[in-house]
């Protein structure tokens, strides 16, 4: 399991546990005092990157996730007590705009996009003559783009850098991606609590991996590839998935996952699998693997 997944899981468990304890009437330390402990997050997270032992690194990542949950809870209590509320507003005048571009030589047969970010609004739908273009508007700090060539694959990695903390007032973190439609794409994303809208139908996408927490995700898949694999690890998230009618689609999950899925024209194949009736005969096939924590999945064929 990735340290980012451990951090996110520990964060959500700590945050949910504290709110549940408050709802049940248990008292806790004041939000104002606890919020001052936020540097412990950086200390524990930094230590997890420095240690060579993988097991210790995972423990430190979990500890930093717990600290983050406690601090976010404390900040929420402080805001509620003071009558202040944080507002997401993509028109925040203090937000900084940024454009990032990955160059395209017209010869790259395959490309990989990796990006990670925290809370915000993310979109992927437009095409570009570049390999990739990003337009970001954020109150939290800038993004960095790294482009490397590995054999016949052009790899682009995007990460948020400065991670400024905004306690009150307006917040903006809007992130729009445009891709070149020609290469064969692999997309790997890791986002926190977010609203994400990914229309992949204009692109040749062979694999998509999404890790998210407490998110609202819309994902539209096209038919430009004969085989598409989608892996979703979305804790406490709601997902809308659009797939072409002519493509065969298979959805795999854990025990009793079928009860959390609304999918017309799918046939139940045991407790861990759903398939469209044309899955075996269809030339185009889409496989969806649900890995953990999903709240609901609504599937529509277009």
Q: pLDDT category, 63, cuts 50, 70, 90?
A: confident
Q: What is the rounded distance in angstroms from the CA atom of residue 242 to the CA atom of residue 184?
A: 20
Of all residues in the chain, what percent carry a pLDDT higher than 70? Answer: 65
Q: pLDDT category, 16, cuts 50, 70, 90?
A: low
* Contact (Cβ atoms closer than 8 angstroms) between residue 90 and residue 172: yes
Residue 141 tokens read as: 């700090």
SS (H, E, C) the chain: CCHHHHHHHHHHHHHHHHHHHHHCCCCCCCHHHHHCCCHHHHHHHHHHHHCCCHHHHHHHHHHHHHHHHHHHHHHHHHHHHHCCCEEECCCCCCCEEEEEEECCCCCCCEEEEEEEECCEEEEEEEECCCCEEEEEEECCCCEEEEEEEECCEEEEEEEECCCCCCCCEEECEEEEEEECCCCEEEEEEEECCEEEEEECCCCEEEEEEEEEECCEEEEECCCCCCEEEEEEEEEEEEEEEEECCCCEEEEECCCCHHHHEEECCEEECCCCEEEECCCCCCCCEEEEEEEEEEEEEEEEEC
**pLDDT for the residue numbered 131:** 98
- Chain segment 215-267, per-residue pLDDT in tens: 789 999 999 999 999 999 877 678 899 999 999 999 998 766 777 788 988 99
- Contacting residues for 295 by C-beta, under 8 A, at least 6 apart: 236, 237, 238, 260
- Chain segment 130-156, per-residue pLDDT in tens: 999 999 988 777 889 999 999 999 999
**pLDDT for the residue numbered 87:** 42
More confident residue, 288 or 83: 288
Residue 166 pLDDT greater than 60, yes or no: no
Phi then psi for 214, rounded to 5 degrees?
A: 50, 55
Q: What is the rounded distance in angstroms from the CA atom of residue 58 to the CA atom of residue 4?
A: 9
Q: Is the pTM of this model over 0.75?
A: no
């Amino acid at each position: 399991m990735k340290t980012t997944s451990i951090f996110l899981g520990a964060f959500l468990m700590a945050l949910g546990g504290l709110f549940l304890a408050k709802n049940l009437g248990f008292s806790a330390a004041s939000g104002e005092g606890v919020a001052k402990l936020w540097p412990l997050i950086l200390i524990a997270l930094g230590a997890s990157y420095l240690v060579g032992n993988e097991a210790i690194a995972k423990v430190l990542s979990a500890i930093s996730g717990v600290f983050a949950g406690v601090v976010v809870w404390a900040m929420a209590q402080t805001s509620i007590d003071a009558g202040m509320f944080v507002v997401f507003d993509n028109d925040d005048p203090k937000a900084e705009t940024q454009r990032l571009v990955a160059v395209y030589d017209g010869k790259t047969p395959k490309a990989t996009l990796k990006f990670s970010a925290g809370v915000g609004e993310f979109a992927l739908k437009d095409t570009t003559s570049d390999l990739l273009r990003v337009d970001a508007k954020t109150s939290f700090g800038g993004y960095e783009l790294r482009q490397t060539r590995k054999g016949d694959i052009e790899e682009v990695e995007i990460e948020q850098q400065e991670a400024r903390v905004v306690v009150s007032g307006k917040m903006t973190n809007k992130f729009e991606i445009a891709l070149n439609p020609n290469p064969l794409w692999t997309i790997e994303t890791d986002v926190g609590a977010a609203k994400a809208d990914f229309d992949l139908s204009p692109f040749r996408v062979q694999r998509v991996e999404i890790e998210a927490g407490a998110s609202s995700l819309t994902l539209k898949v096209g038919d430009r590839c004969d085989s598409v694999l989608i892996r979703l690890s979305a804790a406490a998230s709601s997902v809308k998935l659009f797939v072409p009618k002519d493509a065969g689609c298979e959805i795999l999950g854990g025990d009793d996952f079928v009860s959390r899925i609304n999918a017309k024209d799918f046939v139940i194949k045991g407790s861990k699998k759903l398939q469209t009736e044309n899955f075996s005969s269809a030339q185009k096939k889409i496989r969806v693997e649900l890995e953990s924590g999903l709240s609901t999945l609504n599937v529509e064929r277009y």
